[in-house]
Chains A and B, each alone.
Chain A
């Protein structure tokens, strides 16, 4: 069946470090892919999305490219901030499947 696998957390980085959170998926067809972010005490909110192969989603300095050949949608940011500390979820939309989430801690 369809599934999403993302890297285990927590991930701890220093401010201004480069971030990559890996996400791979298994699905029939070509589902839309999403990254959601959950800040402490809040529900999830959409960070970015891509709807077809080679699309790049971007928002707030984060980027992710829909790679059909590697079935991946890795999240990247060139220089993280303390305010980026949150839990990040990769998701595919056909059957509304989420990864297990990756908790990110940014140290000042």
Chain B
């Protein structure tokens, strides 16, 4: 089975800190995604990547950046954390570019910014 692993289940940070959320997938998937999940807003796409060192903005990229130096790892970076970035962050991956493919999700990181 595909496994998508997010490094932390819960994280508490202070306003202004630089925060790294890590995601690793073990099935050589081409595509990786970062979403945030908020009550009443569902999932919103932050950034995605279709290849190593490649990144594309999603719907809400402001305040975030990403890094994909290796195929299996996709990092989400909060340059200067703010309280409105308190959220559940979900990483996902998929094998290739077909629109029929499903996404495989990690268990999520609940980030609290104080």
Please measure, in the bound complex, the distance between the C-alpha atom of A32 and the C-alpha atom of B42, giving whole angstroms. Answer: 19
* Interface size in chain B (residues, C-beta < 8 A): 21
Counting CB contacts under 8 A, is B102 at the interface? yes
- Please pick, from B33, B43, B102, B107, the residue contacting A46 in the complex, using a CB distance under 8 A: B102
The total of Cβ contacts below 8 Å across the A-B interface reads 47
Counting CB contacts under 8 A, is B111 at the interface? no
Contacts of A96 in B (CB 8 A): 33, 45, 48, 103
Q: Nearest residue in A to B6 (C-beta to C-beta)?
A: A43
Q: Are B42 and A43 in contact (CB under 8 A)?
A: no
A-contacting residues, B91-114, CB 8 Å: 92, 99-103, 105-108
Q: Nearest residue in B to A97 (C-beta to C-beta)?
A: B45
Q: Are A98 and B42 in contact (CB under 8 A)?
A: yes
Q: Are B103 and A31 in contact (CB under 8 A)?
A: no
- Please pick, from B41, B45, B101, B107, the residue contacting A43 in the complex, using a CB distance under 8 A: B107
Q: List 13 A-B contacts (CB under 8 A).
A: A36-B103, A41-B107, A42-B107, A42-B108, A43-B4, A44-B92, A93-B101, A94-B99, A96-B33, A96-B48, A98-B35, A98-B44, A101-B43
Top-9 shortest CB links A-B: A43-B105, A100-B42, A46-B102, A98-B43, A44-B105, A93-B99, A43-B107, A101-B42, A51-B100
